[in-house]
Chain A
């Protein structure tokens, strides 16, 4: 809500804080010793090779999975062990776009975007339909309001699920691979849109991606997850990391070199 919003807590407190997090599926530890902050109103990119646990980390950040150990704080309040009602209240301030889209297949695109609005706002149907049209227009899907998810292309599914993620004007927007499956131009437009949304909604954006062009275009800071050491490889500004990181794997990732 631009600079006009008065609901924000002091800007120095990190929006999301992760402390000594360990992620595991049963005995199989995916990542450990994760400690980092996500600042308010920044675009934070989580990157790393395929299968290093980016989506897993995201699922923990949005509370779909419980960490093996460690804590996640949201707005200074502990999130990872909050009870059910606190957690739902917090979750309503998140918008999530899943890697596979996860649109509800029995609803049209407009209904998909409208469902969160219908559940959590007191608006009448007409206004909800108007908002849904607007959100779909933002991602370039005007005219497709009455299509079902099975009737649109893979990239359109991605964009529609972004529209659904921002239905409630979330404070934190989590995007899992938003650019995958889009052509370069649409991908650029999506990057623009993400920056615009950050500015206009005052939202914090957390993006999982491995598309270099998009990382350099949008990221304020990037977190590199290292599949070899199973922990944080580097954290910082992308340009800085590319040229000056001590971790050679980070440099080769950001320079697109196949070394190591």
Chain B
């Protein structure tokens, strides 16, 4: 039952190429000739185990020995090849005799084999995560989205408890931490808030001016810009900026603390991360957001001013028209919204950071999804407020 052909014909064994070929024909044991230069950096590649084994497809309980006389140089590619070869031979019931290899390689292979006892390579196939059928994937998607909702509500509950503890004065919060976050999310954001809201006011003014000009009522643009900034755009623009700047930063900070198990260390010490890490961040945002909103309002109005005064409206007219258009309620509605926005943004950032996985990839995902979640919540909340203020006639 010897199924061996003569040595593979046409195998050009040039001097610097890795060679593995059968030399034995009918003879037992079968001899595998290993020769040439085995180099992982070489371009000729490593011989294929499968194509060799095809030759002993019916070679059950064959004994295989090696002839290494032509071996010039080798590195770990040879050992890797032989390990693979051994696994495949054993699977087919053949016996490989490593004693005929040079002692150094034989020792390394023995080491690799001892240590792979117990767990075979095939076991790892179970871990391969198959795509699955359409229904499996839909099911998986459904389960994971339910899971993430559960997590979100769980986190919301924990946040509420932490806030309640804070109100009762029982929270382990270091309020001095807040100052750092206040600087990071407030003062440091001033330049970008100035730029964005100035341009927003400017854009609003241009759009308004095009329409109003037709009626010769350019000075009414002042009121329009003022009202839009104070009621809507100031809070919204500040919110969007803080989503991009602060929510992502929170998610990345907490996420990388999660990766390096710093959060576990807090937990084990009995310091609740919700109170120690999350609350100061949200508090800082809640403190700074109304101020940033006010500042954004002013910058926007200034942006409108620049446009309109260039269109034969005097400074004084702009001033009086703005004051006539907006009142205290408008201001208040913007500020109330901004406080809620701050909570949502801070919450989104911290939530995504705290449920972050344990890899650098997960930290990136956490930052991305914090921004997406933050902006989504922001716009939804804004819509809810619009309906609500209309219902209670809060103008």
Same complex for A and B? Answer yes
Q: Is B46 part of the contact surface with A, judged by Cβ < 8 Å?
A: yes
Whether the pair A106, B77 counts as a contact (CB closer than 8 A) is no
Q: Which residues of A contact B116 (CB under 8 A)?
A: 137, 140, 142-143
Given contacts A117-B40, A130-B81, A142-B115, A124 and B45 within 8 Å (CB-CB): yes
Given contacts A120-B41, A150-B358, A127 and B108 within 8 Å (CB-CB): no
Q: Which residues of B contact A148 (CB under 8 A)?
A: 358-359
Contact-size category for B: 35 or more
Q: Which residues of B contact A126 (CB under 8 A)?
A: 48
Choose one: B108, B360, B361; the contact of A138 (CB below 8 Å): B108
CB-based nearest A residue for B48: A126
Q: Which residues of A contact B121 (CB under 8 A)?
A: 133, 142-143, 145
Q: Which residues of A contact B107 (CB under 8 A)?
A: 196, 199-200
Q: Which residues of B contact A147 (CB under 8 A)?
A: 127
> Nearest chain A CB to B282's CB is how many angstroms away?
28
Q: Mark B71-91, 1 if CB is under 8 A from A, else 0.
A: 111111101110110000000
Whether the pair B73, A127 counts as a contact (CB closer than 8 A) is no
Q: Which residues of A contact B75 (CB under 8 A)?
A: 1, 169, 201
Q: Is A115 part of the contact surface with B, judged by Cβ < 8 Å?
A: no
Q: What's the tally of chain A residues with a CB closer than 8 Å to chain B?
A: 46
Q: Which of A192-222 contact B (CB under 8 A)?
A: 192-193, 196-197, 199-201
Whether the pair B119, A4 counts as a contact (CB closer than 8 A) is no
Q: Which residues of A contact B244 (CB under 8 A)?
A: none
Whether the pair B115, A140 counts as a contact (CB closer than 8 A) is yes
CB-based nearest A residue for B129: A146
CB-based nearest A residue for B125: A146
Given contacts A142-B120, A148-B359, A150-B359, A4 and B108 within 8 Å (CB-CB): no
Q: Give CA–CA (A3, B104) in the complex, Å.
A: 10
Q: Which residues of B contact A121 (CB under 8 A)?
A: 40-41
Whether the pair B84, A144 counts as a contact (CB closer than 8 A) is no
Whether the pair B112, A131 counts as a contact (CB closer than 8 A) is no
Q: Is B111 part of the contact surface with A, judged by Cβ < 8 Å?
A: yes
Q: Which residues of A contact B71 (CB under 8 A)?
A: 4
Q: Is B102 part of the contact surface with A, judged by Cβ < 8 Å?
A: yes
Whether the pair B83, A143 counts as a contact (CB closer than 8 A) is no
Given contacts A4-B73, A148-B359, A127 and B45 within 8 Å (CB-CB): yes
Q: Give CA–CA (A146, B105) in the complex, Å.
A: 26
Q: Which residues of B contact A68 (CB under 8 A)?
A: none
Q: Is B123 part of the contact surface with A, judged by Cβ < 8 Å?
A: yes
Whether the pair B43, A146 counts as a contact (CB closer than 8 A) is no
Given contacts A2-B104, A143-B124, A127 and B46 within 8 Å (CB-CB): yes
Whether the pair A122, B108 counts as a contact (CB closer than 8 A) is no
Q: Is B128 part of the contact surface with A, judged by Cβ < 8 Å?
A: yes
Q: Is A227 part of the contact surface with B, judged by Cβ < 8 Å?
A: no
Whether the pair A105, B259 counts as a contact (CB closer than 8 A) is yes
Q: Which residues of A contact B128 (CB under 8 A)?
A: 146
> Nearest chain A CB to B330's CB is how many angstroms away?
48
Which one of A117, A130, A189, A201 has the greatest number of beta carbons of chain B within 10 Å?
A130
Q: Which of B336-352 contact A (CB under 8 A)?
A: none
CB-based nearest A residue for B79: A134
Whether the pair A199, B104 counts as a contact (CB closer than 8 A) is yes
> Nearest chain B CB to A121's CB is how many angstroms away?
5
Q: Which residues of A contact B77 (CB under 8 A)?
A: 123, 127, 131
Q: Is A168 part of the contact surface with B, judged by Cβ < 8 Å?
A: yes
Q: Is A78 part of the contact surface with B, judged by Cβ < 8 Å?
A: no
Q: Is A6 part of the contact surface with B, judged by Cβ < 8 Å?
A: yes
> Nearest chain B CB to A109's CB is how many angstroms away?
10
Whether the pair A106, B76 counts as a contact (CB closer than 8 A) is no
Q: Is B59 part of the contact surface with A, judged by Cβ < 8 Å?
A: no
Q: Give CA–CA (A114, B71) in the complex, Å.
A: 26
Q: Which residues of A contact B72 (CB under 8 A)?
A: 4
Q: Which residues of B contact A127 (CB under 8 A)?
A: 45-46, 77, 80
Q: Is B139 part of the contact surface with A, judged by Cβ < 8 Å?
A: no
Whether the pair B83, A134 counts as a contact (CB closer than 8 A) is yes
Q: Give CA–CA (A143, B80) in the complex, Å.
A: 15
Q: Give CA–CA (A4, B105) in the complex, Å.
A: 13
Q: A143-B121, A149-B359, A150-B259 are in contact. List 7 more A-B contacts (CB 8 A).
A: A121-B40, A123-B46, A135-B80, A138-B112, A138-B115, A142-B112, A166-B76
- Nearest 3 interchain pairs by C-beta: A143-B119, A142-B116, A150-B358
Q: Measuring CB to CB, which residues of chain A are less than 8 angstroms from any residue of chain B?
A: 1-2, 4-6, 104-106, 117, 120-124, 126-127, 130-131, 133-135, 137-150, 166, 168-169, 189, 192-193, 196-197, 199-201
* 23 chain-A/chain-B pairs, Cβ below 8 angstroms: A6-B73, A104-B360, A105-B259, A122-B42, A124-B45, A127-B46, A130-B46, A133-B121, A134-B76, A134-B79, A135-B80, A137-B83, A140-B116, A142-B112, A143-B120, A146-B128, A149-B359, A166-B76, A169-B40, A189-B115, A196-B104, A196-B108, A200-B105
